[in-house]
Amino acid sequence: MFLLILSSVLTALSMPGFVAGFIVWFALIPFFKSLEGKGPFWGALYGFLYFYIFSAINLFWVLPVLTENLPKVFGKFPSWLGFFVFLLMLLIEALPFAAFGFLYGFMEQIVKKNQFKEILFTTSLYTLLDFVRSIGQMGFTGGTLSDALYKDTGILQLVSMIGPYGLTFIIVAVNSWFYIILRKSTRPMEKIIFNTLVIIFLSYMVSLYLPLAKSVDKTIAAIQTNLSQETKYKEDPLHLFGQFEPFLVQTKDSVIVLPEDVFSFDPRSSVVATELIDLCKENDLDILIGAVSYNSKTYNSVFLVNKNGFVDRYSKVKLFPFVETLPYEKIFGVFSFLRGLSYFEPGEEYRPLSLRDYPPLGVQICFESYFSEPSRKLVKNGAQVLIVCTNDGWFVYDVALKQHFAKSVIRAVETRRQVIQVANAGITGMIDPYGRILKTATPRKFERIVFELMPRTDITIYCKTGDIIVWLSLAVVIFLLIFPGQKTISAKRRIWQ
């Protein structure tokens, strides 16, 4: 059990916002060691506990949102109930890894007869079940192992070909290899340390030779509004507009991007509509601003406003479960108290926005940047630059801000698109198409920052093929479960005889 907990802690410490990403190269070794000889049923318990403890540490920043911020702003449930919801969230996240422990325990003695088979089965099984967490109405990708390497620009380039789960596959394969070294080699610690340093060195060398991204004579001004949630949801429209109007006034002949949910109402039917349009006319502006929109249904949208009015919008397609939409209503209807002001309808398509003589901008809203699908579809539909508008003001701890920004880094590399994230509290920043973080605003400050655009039109291998590594992992797991090996079959025949 000590080894299991150690592995959970090490994996958490490798995540964005904690200690260092390189820890992920050996974080799973104690977990694999703890599974030795446990069999399928104890293995299921150990797999579940590993990911439950890891998620509790890695996602600790969710707890204040559920026990303090949401109850305080919306007043729909007590704090103790938020704590129960947090525990349930961890349970849902950890369930796929109960399946990992079960199947690993079932196959352990078989696959360990061949080192290649052991690495292949363990890696494929982990990758497959980590991907399972991301699918469905309750899908979530927080804690994906590839997140740990968002600052390791060299090795991160693989994501443009094999995606984040391909990088996860490599990470688990290295851990499996190190676990075999630990079992079978003399002086294993020296070998593990040496090989980890080699990986880090090679990644660093690749990062030195990456090309510089080309910018064009176009800029975007981002405004980090840093408005508290109580202000956003309780103050009148003109007061909210007055908070960031000074930054709008000092910008001319440009595009301005504001965060998600600047207005928790539809601005088209409020007094701020005229103010925004007049300002666009006076200063020749195009403004992207997050707000609720009503069009027979309610959406979480980003509006495009210019001198002609509210001319276009992108509505969030992938909604946050329980807060923005109620997943599997017949099962989880009892959790409707977590709803914000209202439930939203999903947008219809991932459609880039066209404005002025700017390259097409692919806008994503908050939770959407946790997933590859929105970015890939926006790029395939013509987006040359990606914009992430988010309201991360709910989070007390900067770890949450860093983990969200790390997802934008992954999105940049896998699509070879510049990503500009504009957040309420931070992190507002610019990432080039190779995943280099070039410029950021100071978190939790009211700030205006200008970014040069780096549009691209090429399509990466990953954008074309998607998560093919997951399908290959599924094929490997099924094949080895059905055809475990000749030695095992012969042994079973002798037993029956």
CB-based burial, 367-397: b 16+ in 10 Å, e otherwise: bbbbbbebbbbbbeeebbbbbbbbbbbbbee
How far apart are alpha carbons 38 and 26 in whole angstroms? 21
Tokens found for residue 389: 């508008």
How far apart are alpha carbons 354 and 429 in whole angstroms? 22
Tokens found for residue 134: 């991301």
H or E segment at 87? Answer: helix 79-111
How far apart are alpha carbons 479 and 496 in whole angstroms? 23
Catalytic member of 316, 318, 402, 407: 316
Tokens found for residue 448: 């205006």
What is the identity of the amino acid at 161? Answer: M
CB 255 within 8 A of CB 221: yes
Q: What angle do CA 448, 293, 312 make, to 5 degrees?
A: 70
Q: Is 373 a catalytic residue?
A: no
Tokens found for residue 246: 């000074």
How far apart are alpha carbons 44 and 442 in whole angstroms? 44
CB 477 within 8 A of CB 128: yes
How far apart are alpha carbons 343 and 402 in whole angstroms? 27
Tokens found for residue 151: 């600052």
Catalytic member of 260, 324, 368, 414: 260
H or E segment at 79? Answer: helix 79-111
Catalytic member of 108, 318, 366, 402: 366
Cis peptide before 427 (omega within 30 of 0): yes
Q: Is 380 a catalytic residue?
A: no
Alpha-carbon separation of residue 24 from 141, 167, 437 (angstroms): 16, 12, 21
Sheet holding 285-294, edge to edge: 309-315, 298-306, 285-294, 254-257, 219-224, 447-452
Q: Is 260 a catalytic residue?
A: yes
Which are the catalytic amino acids?
Answer: 260, 316, 366
